[in-house]
Amino acid sequence: MRILLVEDDLMLAGAVARALRQSAHAVDTLASGDEADHYLTANEYDLVLLDVRLPKLDGFEVLRRLRQRRNQVPVLILTVRDAPEDRVTGLDLGADDYLNKPFNLPELEARVRALIRRSHASASPELLHGPLRLDMAGRRLYNAGQPLDLSARELAVTELLLLKEGRVVTKQQINEHLYGWEETSTSNAVEAFIYRLRRKLEPSGVDIRTVRGMGYLIDKPHAA
Per-residue pLDDT, 182:
62
What are the structural domains, with CATH classification, of the chain?
2-119 (3.40.50.2300), 126-217 (1.10.10.10)
pLDDT at 60: 95
**Cα–Cα distance measured from residue 142 to residue 139, given in angstroms and rounded to the nearest whole number:** 10
Measured from the Cβ of residue 38, the count of other Cβ atoms closer than 10 Å reads: 13
Task: Judge whether 123 and 117 are in contact, CB under 8 Å.
Answer: yes
Which pLDDT value is given to residue 220? 85
Distance CA 41, CA 57 (A): 15
Q: What is the pLDDT of residue 223?
A: 52
pTM of the predicted structure, to 2 decimals: 0.76
Averaged over successive runs of 10 residues, the pLDDT of the chain (224 residues) comes to 92 93 88 95 92 93 96 93 84 93 92 85 78 87 93 88 90 81 70 91 92 90 61
Apex CA 177: angle with CA 175 and CA 180, to 5°?
80
DSSP string over 11-64: HHHHHHHHHHHHTT-EEEEE-SHHHHHHHHHH---SEEEEESS-SSS-HHHHHH
pLDDT value at residue 224 = 46
What gap in Å lies between CA 81 and CA 78, rounded to an integer? Answer: 9
Residue 75 has what pLDDT?
Answer: 96
Residue type, 26: A
Question: What does the alpha-carbon distance between residue 126 and residue 133 come to, in Å, rounded to a whole number?
Answer: 7
**Sign of the CA dihedral with 111 first, then 24, 182, and 18 last:** positive
